[in-house]
Structure 1
């Protein structure tokens, strides 16, 4: 089943009722041309469009049509976001995907910030799967596909109930940049092996000791040390509050909260919990300052 929402801030999603598979529905979706998003559009306008007007999807079986991990009984499709490709050429990027996913059916399309100033290549990859998969299977499956392709991928791609943007084309993108590869769906069972541990490439000894304790260093040390079950809500509340107090923009603080949750909290909090904590702190900061932040 394919579920659709308008904007990413809502957890309410609407099922698309017909006999077509989620993958079929996506590749037949006519990407709207959003000419107002171009090289001169500011980040606030782009984020406002994404949060309120753009369509998002999730494929699987969703209880009560409410998007959260515990309601997603099973998931279909693998969806990966590539938005940190540096100065990689488009042809090199596409050739890498085709080579590593040879014989596998996929849909690759530019995201709304693709080729805008300061962003470069930004793409979304949708891979068809031969069967649905569960939350317990999610981490190994997604990580193994990411490792196989070998390109830097957005960590949100591993979030079980993460909704993803439907194909939209900004003024800098055209339909010619969309790639559809025919083939067989990815066989989920073959990718459910324990991911290889990545060795730390850095190895050194030092007699350096921190004697100053400057605020930024203390804060980063706290984030990297992370936290575990039993203290997660309080710890993340403190981290988000610190970011907002130190002048981090609200949208950037939200993005960092997600990265920190996925990488430095064990086990990670659900999206719903992170959103609740973030919105609570944002509301307190807004009332304290008397202006929106």
Structure 2
């Protein structure tokens, strides 16, 4: 099933009526046209359409309500110039759809692409990260961190001053086998185990005697995390500090996701989104 969310300022989803598969529905989707976008964030917050393909319990989006996904959707915000050729080379026999994100050409200079992979079966939350790692391993590039959030919605194709209809690329092939991807992810984990969170022994510089700057304190707090009862306050402080440093909203959001992942008991993604939107609204009101 396909669920649609209008704007990022809510987490209410509407079931899109369709009889075809989720991937076929996406292929037939008519992109919204935005010829003038003076404020990309405003368009994303109020007008742009986002989607989730899978099974949802109820109409409100959160990690607990989303029971399964039927499509693997990945964002590449710093994609190489030959992104499409790369996918065609690395995933030659698989069916996928690639299109520029609404922020392409607006934020930064690197191309911003979204990749939707057709799958042979639905998958559950516990399989999500492994599937992303498997595709990243095949392509040799890393997806945007927001894709790892289980109930994260992804923007639908759009036509803008930078995105043309011909930029939406459908590659025909077979649905990727979920179980084969999971096996590949397991192989990658064995070959390249995750690094420990502690530095190697033998370092002798005593940083405790140095006067720590505010950015050092911020980075330490992100890695150290906080207790379960202080998670919202902790993330709010981090977001506020990052906005104070004049970081871009997208940078703040991605660091916030990382900080949440460092917690022993991370918050649900919709709660992190609320924190980000609250702090962002407060920052916008200053200008």
User: What TM bracket, shorter-length normalisation?
Assistant: 0.7 to 0.9
Q: 1:82 to 1:276 in 2, by over 3 A?
A: closer
Residues 233-253 of structure 1 show CA distances to partners (whole Å, capped at 9, x for unaligned) of 453244334445666676754
Q: Is 1:137 matched up with 2:127?
A: yes
Out of 35, 41, 49, which is 1:47 matched to? 41
Matches of 1:140 and 1:251 in 2, distance apart?
24
CA distance in 2, matches of 1:227, 1:100: 41
Pairing 1:162–2:161 present: no
Q: In the alignment, which of 141, 155, 162 is matched to residue 151 of structure 1?
A: 141
Query: Deviation at 1:275?
Result: 3.2
> How far apart, CA to CA, are the structure 2 residues paired with 1:61 and 1:129?
15
CA offset at residue 121 of structure 1? Answer: 0.6
What is the aligned partner in structure 2 of residue 3 from structure 1?
A: 3
Pair 277,138 (structure 1): closer, same or farther in 2 beyond 3 Å: same
Structure 2 match to 1:208: 205
* Deviation for aligned residue 1:292: 4.6
Q: Is the 8 A contact 2:70 2:121 kept in 1?
A: yes
Q: Is the 2:18–2:25 Cα contact (8 Å) retained in structure 1?
A: no
After superposing the two structures, state which structure 1 stretch, 54-63 or 214-223, moved more.
Answer: 214-223
Q: Are residues 280 and 95 of structure 1, via their aligned partners in 2, closer, same or farther at CA, if it must alter by over 3 Å?
A: closer
Shift of 1:135: 0.8
| 2:219 aligned residue | 220
Q: Is the 8 A contact 1:60 1:73 kept in 2?
A: yes
TM-aligned CA distance change 1:229 to 1:189, over 3 Å: farther
1:192 CA displacement? 1.7
CA–CA distance in structure 2, aligned partners of residues 240 and 117 of structure 1: 20
Superposed displacement of residue 103, structure 1: 0.7
- Aligned partner of 2:54 in structure 1 is 60
Residues 110 and 169 in structure 1, CA contact (< 8 A), matched pair in contact too? no
| Partner Cα separation in structure 2 for residue 8 and residue 110 of structure 1 | 18
Hey, what's the Cα distance between the residues in 2 that align with 1:83 and 1:282?
A: 20
Residue pairs, 1:5-84, within 5 angstroms: 5-37=5-37, 41=38, 45-84=39-78
Q: Is the 8 A contact 1:111 1:169 kept in 2?
A: no
Distance 1:72 1:176 in 2: 33
In structure 1, list runs of 5 or more residues that go unmatched: none
Distance 1:134 1:73 in 2: 7
What secondary structure does 2:220 align onto?
A: helix
Q: What is the root-mean-square deviation in Å for CA atoms of aligned residues?
A: 2.8
Query: Number of residues paired by the alignment?
Result: 277
Query: Normalising by the residue count of structure 2, what TM-score does the alignment of the two structures yield?
Result: 0.84
Q: After TM superposition, give the deviation of residue 270 of structure 1 in Å.
A: 0.8
Question: In the alignment, which residue of structure 2 is the partner of 1:125?
Answer: 115
Distance 1:125 1:250 in 2: 22
TM-score, normalised on structure 1? 0.83
Aligned-pair CA distance for 1:267: 4.3
| Range that drifts further, 114-123 or 211-220 | 114-123
1:61, 1:256 → 2: CA distance?
29
Q: Distance in 2 between matches of 1:267 and 1:96?
A: 37
Q: 1:105 aligns with which of 91, 95, 105?
A: 95
Q: Structure 1 residues 29 and 189 mapped into 2: Cα distance closer, same or farther (>3 Å)?
A: same
From 155, 176, 179, the equivalent of 2:169 is: 179
